[in-house]
Chains A and B, each alone.
Chain A
Amino acid sequence: LRTYQGHGYEVLDAAGSFDNSQICSGGADKAVALWDVTTGQVVRKYRGHAGKVNCVQFNEEATVIVSGSIDSTVRCWDCRSRRPDPIQVLDEAKDGISSVKLSAHEILTGSVDGRVRRYDLRTGQLFSDYIGSPITSVCFSKDGQCVLAATLDSTLRLLDKDTGELLGEYTGHRSTTYRLDCVLNEQDTHVGCASEDGHVYFWDLVEGSLALSLPVGQGVVQSLAFHPRLPCLLVATQGQVTLWREDSFQPEGDPD
């Protein structure tokens, strides 16, 4: 529909705002860009990261962009004011940030130093869970009680958010070098993760057993996103994006 041009190097992550009016993106040019969807113009560009920006996220109201970078900092950028510098820099990580997720009052970061950090703004606390292997992706469960973390030892771990205990462990896929995504489906019944062998694996969240492996392509499945409400999966691999739905799905109007 529209191409958004303006990054100097490759774009590593992008996220849309809640009202689909804005897009934020971060790339290897160390900048975080805020785009206007309709005009296709860069509204703002935030510079300050010392390395590639691995991941960007909007907060719920799209007032803050949180970006995680290879320079081991997470920066919170203000979308409202014209401030050029971040609101806050979370520099607790010892290594690059690979994944950032936000809930209403929490910032969840996964770092290559093997820790999942959760910054709770409401209580003013930082919880740091050590997992060991470099973390490629983190995400909240839909009920906000659990944290799913994918690591480079080809394992997904489901941790209790409050205590940090291990609730489940999911293996079977291959993830050793790439920064692969993990997802939970719309009802928190299954855990999904991209794999380097061209499949997308789904596990039963409770049983921990492999429920499904979707052959997507030959190469590495690079990105993965699940629709927040519908059983609908978006997969990116090697220059192609595929949308997966269940068999019974009849396209009704415009998807997404």
Chain B
Amino acid sequence: AAVESSDSEEEDLVSYGSALPPLQEGERIKKPVPLQEQTVKDAKGRYQRFHGAFTGGFSAGYFNTVGTKEGWTPSAFVSSRQKRADRTILGPEDFMDEEDLSEFGIAPKDITTTDDFASKAKDRIKEKARQIAGVVAPIPGTTAFDDLIGPSKITVGVELLRKMGWKEGQGIGPRVKRKPCRQKPDPTVKIYGCVLPPGLSEGSEDEEDEYQPENVTFAPKDVTPVDLTPKENVHGLGYKGLDPSQALFGVSGREHLNLFTGGSEETSHLLGDLRHSKGRKLGITGQAFGVGALEEEDDDIYATDTLSKYDTVLKDEEPGDGLYGWTAPKQYKSKKRPEREFKYIGKILDGFSSASKSSAPIKIYPPPSLPRNYRPVHYFRPVIIAGNENCHLQKALEESAGKLESDPAQQSRHALNAAQRREQLGETELKGPAPSILEYLSEKDRERLKEMKQASEQQMKAKIVSQQSPNSRFQPASPEGAAPKWRMLLGRELANAGSSDFKPFAKNPEKQRRYENFVKSLKKGEKDTLERFLDPNMTEWERGREQEEFFRAAVFYRSSNSTLSSRFTRAKYEDDVDKVEVPRDQENDIDDKETAVKMKMFGKLTRDKFEWHPDKLLCKRFNVRDPYPDSSVVGLPKVKRDKYSVFNFLTVPEHTTSVTQTTNEKIQESNSLNKPKKPSRWDVSDKEKEKKDSISEFISLARSKADVQQQPPVPATEECGTGTRETLPTLVTNEDKNWEEESRRPPMDLFKAIFVSSSDEKSSSSEEESDEEQQPATSERESETTKQADVPDSSSSNVQESVTATTDSGISSLPTSKQELDATEEFGPKLPPAFSSGRFCRHLDSTFPGPSRKEKHRKIRERHKTKKERKHKKEKKKKHKKQKNKGKQKNKKTEKESSSDTTDSSDSLSDMDTTGLSPKELLRR
């Protein structure tokens, strides 16, 4: 059983190959057959004897005789009488052995690249290399045999390229428009080193330019791969022996022997020269070997080697003829320029050239020297509220802090501005170079203004004794507060922004220059001199417009700086058109919406509504009447705008004015919701839904039911009045959003700024509206001023007289005296000291569009406007409730509340009121 099993096991095994014969006893292991005794046999066991090279290398046929042992087998005779037609033509294959047709035979039948498909032309680069090698070789011309040996095949790729129009010697790539290859310098006039006169190369190119037709393109230059040869010898760096081309070709006219030329140049010379010297007889000529009898050049036999032929300094090599690659940057160096220090290193793109004028070096200002007692760490002083019982403590603290102030009333002296301080000190105003609006008016206007001023002054004197300067009458009403706001923004943000590369007015260099000056001055902080940069020849309106533009451009630059990364999008417009079609309405900023979405405040905040024109056919197909039967527009209406105007970048839908107004209202209303409990959105939706839509009604019903159980049903807002019902819903959705998002919403500034300008241009009626908008803010302001500047309460009673005139427009005949009294107080404390009131006026006037004649009226009206505001204020203060209509009540209430704690900052911003935003909102920004 055991044997059987072993047998079966052996049967299971698979054996490969033939087993070695078992070793005999005492037999030695075979030695390997030496090489000379090895024989080659073919597949049939026949010996393949090697013969000499002349017989083809190995035996053919039967022992090199015939096909078989029996000799040639005669073919059977076939009468050509019948089979004349299919007489076969014998090919070489008929006489070949079958081994010859196999894979390794001389005529393999497998698929290989035949010579038909190989390129017929020789590889030129290789050829060149070979030629060079031959030249450099000790025996010149030896490589000529290389051409004879071995077929030169050219690959299919080259063949294909040639089919596509490529020719030998050309580079690969699209055809370029350029000057033709510079003529190779005559080989007999060879120039080495960099002593090439600068006029020569450029000049020759210029000459050729004239023969160059415009529409001729050229193939790109061939790129010869640069082979970096390692340095294997121990010669010095850059050393080379005798130049073989010089020695061999007997070149005359060697003026300069440059030892320091790089290898690439040498190669290039070789490449260039060999072509021309092909026909020349190769031979050993030159100095090293003397001049042969057959050489013509015997002029240089006794040349002396002088030092002047050698370079004493290492210099850049001459630009090569067509070698791109790592040698490329050198080619573009212009020799004309003396200043070579600042060079762009790297490849310069097509169509570009390095600037001819280097930009002025950036001026670096030293940082301000720190005061000696400056401590880099801020420490907080305990804040003590003045006026309560711990007065002593406060004083002690102040003294310890080195602040010895005698008068507690002056503690806030930093909050006062110059006018207030002056007032407190009883000084008169400086008449000197205080920036005044008058400087920027034309002579005529100035005259007229003076008249006006005098008239009013007389009037004033007759009425009341005022300690106030007449200038302050020209305090602008708040709509013009935009300019300082810009400045504030810019001053903050532009300080570190280098906007030299941002050229919004590139089309108009003059304007661009002005803009740059403007930005520079902004950066430096000379905020009073903006108008200086405007063109004095322009009209007022133009100036105003331009200034506006500058502001926007600057702001745009600033804002783009910070938000650019997140806002990159592909180019909307073609570069080469001046006018572009801009959609009139664009979906405005996403930032607002994102926050709205985050707060789940869907609705108006997340919705954009546009006019959209469906195609007529589309309407027809949908069986809908064309909503715009007489318009040819399809899609969103577009407007043609100047492409290079800044307004393009700042595209703001025209309807934003109204929108902002409405949102403003909303926001103001939302301010009133500062109450602890926030009504749920479901509450709101149920109130607003007057529509009979099934689902929403359904939902809201259900939700409200649920809400009733969950929370006390009365939203806090409702206590303020019944009129708010309608606006309530949106309000609720807005409120949270506004609170949260305002901290990061720079684009709204743009809106505001634009809104300012548009309100500027509006008639007085719109100003009335904006006045209404201002009311809450002014009330706030009023409360502040009374608090801060200790205005006697009697003023309020004064103004009460004028309450009746609140509704009249612009120019009222009220006595100017009262608001004169208050004017400084109004603007005094709130403004940061950097923004003097004079500038307000100026900006106002420069931005004011229209003929200068109107300006006067304008100013007057503004004066009255402030008057009016004051009236409003007083009114509000006294009889708060009387003034309100349409649910504005609660705004004011809350505003009042809020004003108590956040008065100061809100006041500083309150001049922006007319932009249509409440100070509240601004405050949060």
Contacts and interface: CB of A to CB of B under 8 A. Distances in A.
A206 interface: yes
Contacts of B601: 166
Interface string A194-222: 00000000000111000000000000000
B137 interface: no
B590 A126 contact: no
A63 B621 contact: yes
Contacts of A132: 593-594, 597-598
A25 B833 CA distance: 69
Contacts of A89: 635
A76 B612 CA distance: 15
A192 to B, nearest CB: 15
B600 A166 contact: yes
Given A88-B615, A126-B610, A163 B603 contact: yes
A92 B626 CA distance: 20
A165 B622 contact: no
Interface in B176-204: none
A229 interface: no
Given A88-B634, A132-B597, A166 B607 contact: no
Given A132-B593, A157-B602, A165-B733, A115 B587 contact: yes
Contact of A145 (B608, B609, B619, B696): B696
A125 B635 contact: no
B699 A122 contact: no
A124 B613 contact: yes
Nearest to A63: B621
Nearest to B614: A121
Indicate the size class of the contact surface on chain B.
35 or more
Nearest to A151: B597
Contact of B621 (A59, A130, A146, A207): A59
B607 A124 contact: no
Interface in B787-818: none
Interface string A80-121: 100000011111101000000000110000000001000111
B651 to A, nearest CB: 15
B606 A164 contact: yes
A76 B600 CA distance: 33
Nearest to B597: A132
The B interface, classified by DSSP as helix, strand, loop or mixed, is mixed
B614 A119 contact: yes
A239 B204 CA distance: 73
A36 interface: no
B636 interface: yes
Contacts of B610: 125-128
Given A163-B607, A165-B733, A167-B685, A64 B618 contact: yes
A164 B614 contact: no
B627 A124 contact: yes
B251 to A, nearest CB: 62
Nearest to A59: B622
Interface stretch (B362-370, B486-494, B687-695): B687-695
B698 A206 contact: yes
Contacts of A51: none
Contacts of A193: none
A233 interface: no
B617 interface: yes
Contacts of B628: 124
A166 B337 CA distance: 69
Contact of A164 (B602, B621, B703): B602
Contacts of A143: 693-695
A186 interface: no
Given A125-B611, A165-B733, A166-B603, A104 B597 contact: no
A88 B620 CA distance: 12
B294 interface: no
Interface string B513-548: 000000000000000000000000000000000000
A123 interface: yes
B604 interface: yes
Given A124-B612, A130-B590, A169 B685 contact: no
B603 A88 contact: no
Nearest to B627: A124
A131 B601 CA distance: 10
Nearest to B600: A166
Interface string B707-734: 0000000000000000000000100010
B87 to A, nearest CB: 55
A138 to B, nearest CB: 14
B702 interface: yes
Contact of A88 (B596, B635, B702): B635
Interface in B566-612: 569, 587, 590, 593-594, 596-598, 600-604, 606-612
A251 to B, nearest CB: 31
B621 A205 contact: no
Interface string A149-184: 000000001111011111111000000000000000
B681 interface: yes
A141 interface: yes
B635 A105 contact: no
Given A64-B618, A167-B695, A206-B698, A130 B611 contact: no
Nearest to B607: A164
Of B594, B607, B610, chain A has the most CB atoms within 10 Å of the CB of B607
Contact of B695 (A141, A163, A165): A141
A64 B619 CA distance: 10
A152 B593 CA distance: 17
Nearest to A90: B635
Given A121-B619, A125-B612, A206-B699, A130 B635 contact: no
Given A132-B594, A145-B693, A206-B699, A164 B611 contact: no
Contacts of A78: 617, 621
A129 interface: yes
B694 A188 contact: yes
A104 B607 contact: no
B607 A88 contact: no
Contacts of A207: 702
Nearest to B733: A165
Given A164-B604, A205-B699, A124 B617 contact: no
Nearest to A184: B695
Given A128-B587, A167-B699, A168-B699, A76 B691 contact: no
B627 A121 contact: yes
A165 B622 CA distance: 27
Nearest to B702: A206
A128 B186 CA distance: 73
A80 B618 CA distance: 11
B615 A130 contact: no
B618 A121 contact: yes
A247 interface: no
Of A146, A165, A166, chain B has the most CB atoms within 10 Å of the CB of A165
Nearest to A168: B699
Interface string A57-69: 0011101100000
A169 B600 contact: yes
Nearest to B606: A130
Contacts of B603: 163-166
A105 B622 contact: yes
A122 B625 contact: yes
A104 B694 CA distance: 18
A67 B178 CA distance: 47
Contact of B602 (A119, A122, A159): A159
Contacts of A91: 635
Of B608, B621, B628, chain A has the most CB atoms within 10 Å of the CB of B621
Nearest to A164: B607
13 contacts: A59-B621, A78-B617, A119-B612, A122-B625, A125-B612, A128-B587, A130-B607, A131-B597, A143-B693, A143-B694, A165-B602, A167-B696, A207-B702
Given A130-B607, A169-B600, A207-B702, 19 more contacts: A61-B623, A87-B617, A88-B615, A92-B636, A105-B622, A120-B612, A122-B624, A124-B614, A130-B594, A131-B606, A143-B694, A143-B695, A146-B693, A160-B696, A165-B729, A165-B733, A167-B685, A168-B699, A205-B699
